[in-house]
Structure 1
Amino acid sequence: MHDRERKEALRVSPRKSLSQHFLVNPQVALRIVEAAEISSSDPVLEIGPGRGALTGFLLERSRKVVAVEVDPRLCSLLRERFGGDPKFTLVEGDVLKVNLGELMSEGRWTVVANLPYHITSPVLFLLSEHREKVRRAVVMVQREVGRRMTASPGSRDYGLLSVMLRLDARPEYLFEVRPGNFFPRPKVKSAVVRLDFTEPYPLQPKDREIFKRLVRAAFGGRRKMLRNSLSSLAPPEVLSEASRRAGVDLSLRAEQVPLEGFVMLADSLRS
């Protein structure tokens, strides 16, 4: 299955240290790119292009593609395949260390990525930091991560990632990708998720740093009631008064609290 793509992948042996699993099914690649809803005027940031399974489709549809790849071996392959296209720019480096603000210096960008498993959450949080520069992001992640990204309060998967991402974007779980579509085969299924950064949560915290500390503390003691997991943030009487003003019961556990509740509690603690 997909023999030509698999032979291409073999030109660069996958590195386990970089969580490399090359997508070798062009039909899946096309489906991912179509989900990004790219127009001919859109600039695109591709994170972790690998051997370019998505890159060609992205170049066909967009105004330009800036690809960030950390593996020098893959960079050589990408230059060979796409270096002659004036719409293609390759940045060799770690996306977590690259200045994305400088890369996305004009307008709002579409981000497309087959994210390496070991840096998924840091990259997602990085995109949130640059939310004013990103229109939408379509990312392929481990299925379990995709479920956490899109989980609702009260569900088993609802957690820190669910809350922090929904603050800045509307997440949508699109479809799953089986291990046989990659080389080498991963041990888990993948999922494709779309994040619409033009639709942030309507209620925003007055102080994002207080909000972040609150949410991290709450989910850091996931099995604890809020009055216990948040005890490091403020004295009991201050927490009690903030709870009263916010209308959030401190006997709840973090996974039971909707995003609105976290925002109102953070704002009450701030004041």
Structure 2
Amino acid sequence: MLNARVNEELVAAAGVEEGDVVLEIGPGTGSLTAALLAAGATIVAVEKDKHMATLVRDRFGSTEQLKVIEEDITKFHVHSHFLPILEEKSHGKKKYAKVVSNLPFNVSTEVVKQILPMGDVFSVMVLMLQDEAALRLANASIQTPEYRPINVFVNFYSGKRVFL
């Protein structure tokens, strides 16, 4: 996503502010990463593509606010990466991380199933999804054939703030 305004809207929707810890999935070239850093966040960016991970590291190499991990998000162990960071940043108080991401279509359902139940780690999850994925996850009515187990899952774990 190269549109800076959209990236700023994602950051604002998540309420990202100075000192927040954010999971960014698939940072690509780092345009959303730049907006998150500008808001003062510490970012753990998980990128499967070695070339893109290198690009993001090179682009933001001088900041200690960014940790790029080359891994498939569907195999990523969230607790082992985030709990130490949250403990370090919390100074004795309970602190939660946020998820802000422009998700690749092919992992959107798996990521939602993986991350959404992690209320012990994440307080906010703001995802930009392709239209079909968003509709499949959030817009099916219980009385329609499109209503699937994933809709029950999303409705159970999420607040009712879903924007299409």
Same fold at TM > 0.5: yes
Identical-residue share of aligned pairs (%): 29
**1:103 and 2:91 are equivalent in the alignment:** no
Alpha-carbon shift at residue 38 of structure 1 (Å): 1.0
User: Normalising by structure 2, what TM-score?
Assistant: 0.85
Contact 2:105–2:133 (8 Å) recurs in 1: no
- Per-residue CA deviation, residues 37-89 of structure 1 (Å, 9 max, x unaligned), is 11213111101101111001101213411100011111111011111111111
1:160 is matched with 149
Distance 2:125 2:72 in 1: 18
**Bigger RCO (CA 8 Å, 6+ sep):** 2
User: Normalising by structure 1, what TM-score?
Assistant: 0.53
- Matched residue count: 153
2:123 is matched with 135
Moved over 6 A (4+): none
Alpha-carbon shift at residue 163 of structure 1 (Å): 0.8
**1:85 and 2:63 are equivalent in the alignment:** yes
- Per-residue CA deviation, residues 103-136 of structure 1 (Å, 9 max, x unaligned), is 1202311001111111111111000342321101
Amino acid at match of 2:59: R
Larger radius of gyration: 1
1:116 to 104, 115, 138: 104
Over aligned residue pairs, what C-alpha RMSD do you find?
1.7
Amino acid at match of 2:143: G
Alpha-carbon shift at residue 143 of structure 1 (Å): 1.2
Alpha-carbon shift at residue 155 of structure 1 (Å): 4.4
**1:49 and 2:27 are equivalent in the alignment:** yes
